[in-house]
Amino acid sequence: MFSEAVILAGGFGTRLSHVVSNVPKPMAPTYGKPFLCYLLDRLVDAGIERIVLATGYKHDVIESYFNASYRGVEVIYSREDTPLFTGGAIVQAARRLQTDHFIVLNGDTLFDIDFEEFARAHEIKNASITLALRAVEDTSRYGAVTCTDDGRIAAFNEKEASAGSGVINGGIYAINRTWLLSQELPTKFSFEKELLQPLAGKEAIYGKCFETYFIDIGVPEDYDRARREFASIFPADEFLFVDRDGVLNRHILGDYVRSWAQWEWLPGMPQRLAEWGAHYKRVFLVTNQQGVGKGRMSAADLADIHRHMLEDIEAAGGRIDNVYVCTDLESANSPFRKPAIGMALQAQRDFPEVDFHRSIMIGDSFSDMLFARNAQMRALYITTKENHVPEEVRDITDLIL
């Protein structure tokens, strides 16, 4: 099994631009978190130890989200200052690697292959490149791949010449790094058209076919399909973080809920909390309450509100495992005040089983969505008829209720 992987995450995403305009395509929110997270999860679960993200367009969005690691695995960056196309991006990233063989994924495609089986096929053939192939009903969007009986790639048929069922390039490659870097290649080139196609039938380029889940979010219809399908494909979240005002109870415009007498549950919410308590292993309330910091109410007043709130929740059969509050003023830049994740980190210290990658945040503000993004949780945005969804929220999550 290989230990290093490259993900091509530098494309412009032109065909998705009217759907997701402010983030690069691999960061398109899909079932509450960036599409790229699902690719990284697959690599981490497969035992990959080092991942290079080949970035370009809006690279800062990707780099600020993942920083230097993901789920304990090292993440480094190979940034394109000018577009290098797929081939140039792969070669530049390969120079950041340390091992002889590595895996490449397209950042807009999820192909749920068995990476160990794929690596074994590559090693057995002593291949220069191995492609993960997928049988589809219509090859016209992708172009078809023709293989010999022993799995060697014989030809690539262009999209225009393809129609009907067949086998396509699934966008995952295993590559012999030493072989790749020994080729005389231009700085900027298409990996598919200028390397794979001319070498088909001449070089040790093989294919390994998989019948597993495949989706390319490069067009709006398939992006929408991914958003619908991921909820049933991926494991359910285990830990819930929830905001208070506007989610559990009604906001008081221009003021704060300063006493229990001012508290008004949103319809059905105590019962909803009972449902959440039955579904999630842990449920946490995380709430900014700078009304205390402003002197509009005391810490004792806030504690009394939460005591009554918890009593109502328990009477409905629900629970909140812990309440986390930040009373600091917004101007204090507190590490505990959302969108900073101090309250989430405290919950993780109090309950070490909490895994942010298996968590969801429910909130009604951009700050709540940033909190989720900063902790790399899934995010669900609660809105009302009189509360439109800001564009910056749509850049973070597609789960809107």
Catalytic residue ranges: 243, 245
Q: Which pLDDT value is given to residue 387?
A: 58
The answer to pTM > 0.85 is yes
Residues 273 and 297 in one domain: yes
Mark which of 180, 201, 233 sits at the end of a domain: 233
Q: Is the domain of 309 the same as that of 338?
A: yes
Question: Are residue 168 and residue 271 in the same domain, yes or no?
Answer: no
Q: Is the same domain home to 160 and 266?
A: no
DSSP state of 13: -
Residues 222 and 334 in one domain: no
CATH number at residue 171: 3.90.550.10
pLDDT of the residue at 162: 63
Domain identity same for 137 and 163 = yes
Asked whether residue 45 falls in the same domain as residue 160, the answer is yes
Regarding whether 177 and 268 lie in a shared domain, the answer is no
Q: Tell me 196's DSSP state.
A: I
Indicate if 23 and 46 belong to the same structural domain: yes
**Helix 35-45 and helix 59-66: axis angle, to 10°?**
50
Q: Strands, DSSP E only, in 197-351? A: 205-210, 214-216, 239-242, 282-288, 322-326
Per-residue pLDDT at 15: 63
pLDDT recorded at residue 231: 87
174 and 290 share a domain?
A: no
How many domains, the chain? 2
Q: Along the 401 residues of the chain, how does pLDDT read in single tens digits?
A: 899 999 999 977 666 666 676 889 999 999 999 999 999 999 999 999 999 999 998 999 999 999 999 999 999 999 999 999 999 999 999 999 999 999 999 999 999 999 999 999 999 999 999 999 999 988 888 889 999 999 999 998 876 566 678 899 999 999 999 999 999 999 999 999 999 999 999 999 999 999 999 999 988 899 999 999 998 888 889 999 999 999 999 999 899 999 999 999 999 999 999 999 999 999 999 999 999 999 999 999 999 999 999 999 999 999 999 999 999 999 999 999 999 999 999 999 999 999 999 999 999 999 999 999 999 999 999 987 555 788 889 889 989 98
Q: Are residues 39 and 155 in the same domain?
A: yes
Residue pair 204/127 in contact (Cβ under 8 Å)? The answer is yes
C-alpha distances in Å from residue 242, one per residue of 318, 319, 339: 14, 12, 13
pLDDT given at position 33: 94
Preceding peptide of 270 cis, ω within 30°: no
Torsion of CA 372, 377, 381, 382, to 10 degrees: -100
Kindly give, in sequence order, each residue whose CB lies less than 8 Å from that of residue 305, ignoring residues fewer than 6 positions away: 257, 259, 260, 263
Q: Map tokens 């492609």 to a residue.
A: 131
104/164 same-domain check: yes
Find the CATH number of the domain harbouring 340: 3.40.50.1000
DSSP string, 53-102: EEE-TTHHHHHHHHTTEETTEEEEEEE-SS--HHHHHHHHHHTT--SSEE
Tell me which of 187, 202, 233 is where a domain ends. Answer: 233
pLDDT at 164: 79
CB 5 within 8 A of CB 48: yes
Structural domain containing residue 213: 4-233
Of 233, 257, 274, which residue sits at a domain end?
233
Cβ atoms of 185 and 91 closer than 8 Å: yes
